[in-house]
Amino acid sequence: MNNAEMKPLTSKELDYLVDCISNESTLAKHCAATAAAITNPAVQQSLLGMMHKHEQHMDRLVQSLQQHQSLAVSPSH
């Protein structure tokens, strides 16, 4: 979808995206911390894979916010 077809996000949608980014960040950090504490290499690899997936999700959410940034309504002064 290009910028011409996108509509500005509502404040509720923005709040939801911010919560999702925060959740993905927390999950990635938990996976990294747990992987560092685990001695089983297979489990460690699995956790690191999940960490990367959460980081990818977070990046995708941030990109969505950046795409909508140009649509944000500027307050008039």
User: In this structure, is residue 34 part of a structural domain?
Assistant: yes
Q: What integer pLDDT is reported at residue 36 of this predicted model? A: 97
- CA–CA distance, 58 with 37 (Å, rounded to integer): 24
Is 69 inside a domain boundary? yes
CA pair distance 72, 41, nearest whole angstrom: 46
6 assigned to some structural domain: no
3-state class (DSSP) for residue 75: coil
Q: Is residue 2 part of a domain?
A: no
Domain region containing 64: 11-73
Number of domains composing the chain? 1
Classify residue 3: in a domain, yes or no: no
Q: Once rounded to an integer, what is the mean pLDDT over residues 46-68?
A: 94
pTM metric for this prediction: 0.79
The answer to whether residue 38 is domain-embedded is yes
Read off the pLDDT of each residue in 24-52 and give the average, rounded to a whole number: 98
Cβ(25)–Cβ(58) under 8 Å? yes
Question: Per residue in 9-25, pLDDT tens?
Answer: 888 998 999 999 999 99
**Residue 1, domain member (yes or no):** no
For residue 4, tell me if it sits in a domain: no
What band does 61 get if pLDDT is binned at 50, 70 and 90?
Answer: very high
